[in-house]
């Protein structure tokens, strides 16, 4: 903090607000999971389906292994020898991690160009790392003096600049925030005390979160770094009660489930459960799959190889299966420290957008159908919207026919291929059950997946 007075003022404001929401008052949410978990999810989120995740920070400067580089180098015991060797070979003795920050120049960062890429990807929301586990904030946090993007490195408000560009393109804007910080002295002191003290929470985390929400008004708070301590240490329920009742985003804010040890897949808004979570069947609760184009890292890696990246057909299959099971799909890219989105990531994002340009009707604002998938001819995932059902083929059939056993047909059944309005011939497999569709020649579409729209079926 610039001054103890400002810290104390911020803390006092937050404590007063938190205390006021702990008392029931009409339809207000109280600071307990029973009340908070009952809050309906704002409808925009389920309708959006597709988002872009951005991991960007000081960790992008070494660009080695992953965004966990600092921890692997100097946190875990014994240290990762690959990280130790990387530093000894490329940096002078005694070089410290904070010395990477001035090299986080972001000199080519053009938020408008980024937002254009995200818009072209077909994503409806964007989530940027406001603060990762290293504690560096991508905005001028008054609670992170000299360890933020305004005081050092880029010397600009990355969170604010990107948010303005994203919203100018009618996309929703969310912020990732790590609750814990690997090496913050107040956090380490609380940890040493068995989390019986809350110096870090009261003087760093909560004032910073409050400031971030009031200043940037995010529509998603993607919480992380919660697992070392219970939600009672983080004061999560008090913060969420304020967020849902009195914050400037109380009607639109969406949160995930990382608010303390044991909360994942149990408490919060939508569920992430775990990174790259893939349920085996239709979950009962709204969920999101976060995954990364670079399968080895969320942050930028200088030495990434093409074979380590998800190709476009793999991304499309993943997206389709996620949405068919009721989930949202949050696809991550890691920009370079100079502010560029690597062209291979841009190519993947634009490829997703090209596919959604043809098939988005089956994705956006869709709902899971009574049957989610079948594999009679080729793998097929189902979604639905209104009276229509969509059958998405994630592989090209060996012949120009596709058999679907799940739909129940009628005399009014009509089949079309998205991108081709001409009705397709079909015949029943059994009376009123199943159908065989005569397909046109399927062109090599982006993502190698095709969608049939089925009307007049059950």
Predicted model pTM: 0.94
Give yes or no for a contact between 353 and 309, defined as CB atoms under 8 angstroms apart.
Answer: no
Question: Which residue, among 414, 424, 403, has the nearest Cα to 456 in the 3D structure?
Answer: 414
Residue pointed to by tokens 């991508």? 138
Question: Which whole-number Å values give the CA distances from 40 to 252, 354, 435, in the listed order?
Answer: 11, 32, 38
Helix axes 206-216, 158-168, angle to 10 degrees: 40
Contacts of residue 27, defined as CB under 8 A and 6 or more positions apart, other chains included, come to none
Beta bridge partners of residue 414, listed in sequence order: 455
Residue 23's pLDDT band, with cuts at 50, 70 and 90, is very low
Distance CA 413, CA 338 (A): 54
Residue 444's pLDDT band, with cuts at 50, 70 and 90, is confident
For 194-231, give one letter per residue: b (16+ CB within 10 A) or e.
ebeebebbbbbbbbbbbbbbebbbbbbbbbbbbeebeb
Give yes or no for a contact between 80 and 88, defined as CB atoms under 8 angstroms apart.
Answer: no
Instruction: Compute the average pLDDT of residues 113-117.
Output: 98
Distance CA 381, CA 451 (A): 9
The kind and range of the H/E element at 358 are helix 343-359
Residue pointed to by tokens 């001054």? 3
Helix axes 312-324, 343-359, angle to 10 degrees: 50
Tokens of 251: 């009607």
pLDDT, position 19: 44
Output the DSSP codes for 290-348. EEESBTT-SS--TT--GGGB--HHHHHHHHHHHHHTTEEEEEEE---TTS---HHHHHH
Distance CA 200, CA 389 (A): 51
Residue 11's pLDDT band, with cuts at 50, 70 and 90, is low
pLDDT digits (tens, 9 = 90+) for 200-245: 999 999 999 999 999 999 999 999 999 999 999 999 999 999 999 9
E-strand stretches of 346-446: 367-374, 380-385, 388-393, 401-404, 414-417, 426-430, 433-438
Return the percent helix, strand and coil in the chain, to nearest 5.
Answer: 35, 20, 45
Contacts of residue 383, defined as CB under 8 A and 6 or more positions apart, other chains included, come to 323, 324, 362, 363, 366, 367, 368, 369, 389, 390, 392
Instruction: Compute the average pLDDT of residues 326-338.
Output: 98
**What phi-psi label fits residue 456: left (phi over 0), alpha (psi between -120 and 50 degrees) or beta?**
left
pLDDT, position 26: 52
pLDDT digits (tens, 9 = 90+) for 374-414: 998 999 999 999 999 999 999 999 999 999 999 999 989 99
Instruction: Compute the average pLDDT of residues 360-384.
Output: 97
Instruction: Compute the average pLDDT of residues 349-364.
Output: 97
How much of the chain exceeds pLDDT 70, in percent?
94
Instruction: Compute the average pLDDT of residues 3-30.
Output: 53
SS3 27: coil
Rg (CA), the chain: 24
């Amino acid at each position: 903090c610039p001054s103890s007075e400002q810290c104390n003022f911020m803390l006092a404001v937050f404590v007063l607000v938190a205390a006021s929401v702990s008392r029931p008052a009409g339809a207000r949410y109280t600071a307990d999971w029973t009340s908070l978990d009952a809050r309906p999810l704002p409808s925009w989120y389920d309708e959006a389906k597709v988002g872009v995740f951005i991991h960007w920070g000081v960790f992008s400067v070494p660009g080695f292994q992953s965004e966990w580089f600092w921890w692997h180098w100097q946190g875990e015991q014994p240290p990762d020898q690959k990280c130790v060797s990387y530093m000894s070979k490329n940096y002078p003795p005694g070089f410290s991690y904070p010395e990477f920050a001035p090299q986080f120049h972001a000199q080519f960062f053009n938020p408008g160009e980024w937002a254009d890429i995200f818009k072209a990807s077909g994503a409806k929301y964007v989530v940027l790392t406001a603060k990762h586990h290293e504690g560096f904030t991508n905005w001028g946090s008054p609670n992170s003096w000299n360890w933020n993007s305004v005081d050092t490195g880029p010397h600009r408000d990355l969170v604010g600049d990107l948010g303005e560009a994203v919203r100018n393109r009618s996309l929703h804007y969310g912020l990732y925030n790590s609750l814990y910080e690997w090496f913050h002295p107040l956090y380490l002191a609380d940890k040493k005390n068995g989390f019986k003290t809350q110096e870090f929470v009261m003087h760093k985390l909560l004032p910073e979160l409050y400031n971030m929400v009031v200043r940037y008004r995010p529509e998603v708070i993607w919480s992380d770094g919660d697992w070392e301590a219970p939600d009672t240490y983080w004061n999560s329920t008090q913060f969420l009660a304020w967020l849902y009742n009195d914050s400037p985003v109380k009607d639109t804010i969406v949160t995930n489930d990382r608010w303390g040890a044991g909360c994942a897949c149990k408490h919060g808004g939508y569920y992430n459960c775990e990174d790259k979570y893939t349920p085996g069947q239709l979950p009962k609760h709204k969920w999101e799959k976060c995954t990364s184009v670079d399968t080895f890292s969320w942050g930028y890696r200088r030495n990434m190889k093409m074979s380590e990246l998800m190709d476009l057909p793999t991304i499309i299959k993943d997206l389709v299966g996620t949405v068919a099971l009721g989930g949202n799909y949050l696809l991550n890219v890691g920009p370079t420290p100079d502010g560029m989105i690597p062209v291979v990531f841009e190519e993947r994002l634009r490829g997703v957008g090209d596919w959604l340009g043809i098939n988005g009707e089956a994705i956006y604002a869709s709902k899971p159908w009574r049957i989610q998938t079948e594999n009679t001819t080729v793998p097929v995932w189902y979604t639905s919207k209104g009276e229509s059902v969509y059958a998405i083929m994630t592989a090209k059939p060996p012949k120009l026919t596709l058999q679907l056993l799940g739909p129940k047909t009628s005399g009014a059944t009509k089949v079309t291929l998205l991108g081709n309005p001409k009705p397709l011939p079909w015949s029943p497999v059994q009376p009123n059950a199943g159908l065989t569709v005569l397909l046109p020649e399927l062109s090599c579409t982006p993502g190698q997946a095709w969608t049939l729209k089925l009307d007049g079926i059950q």
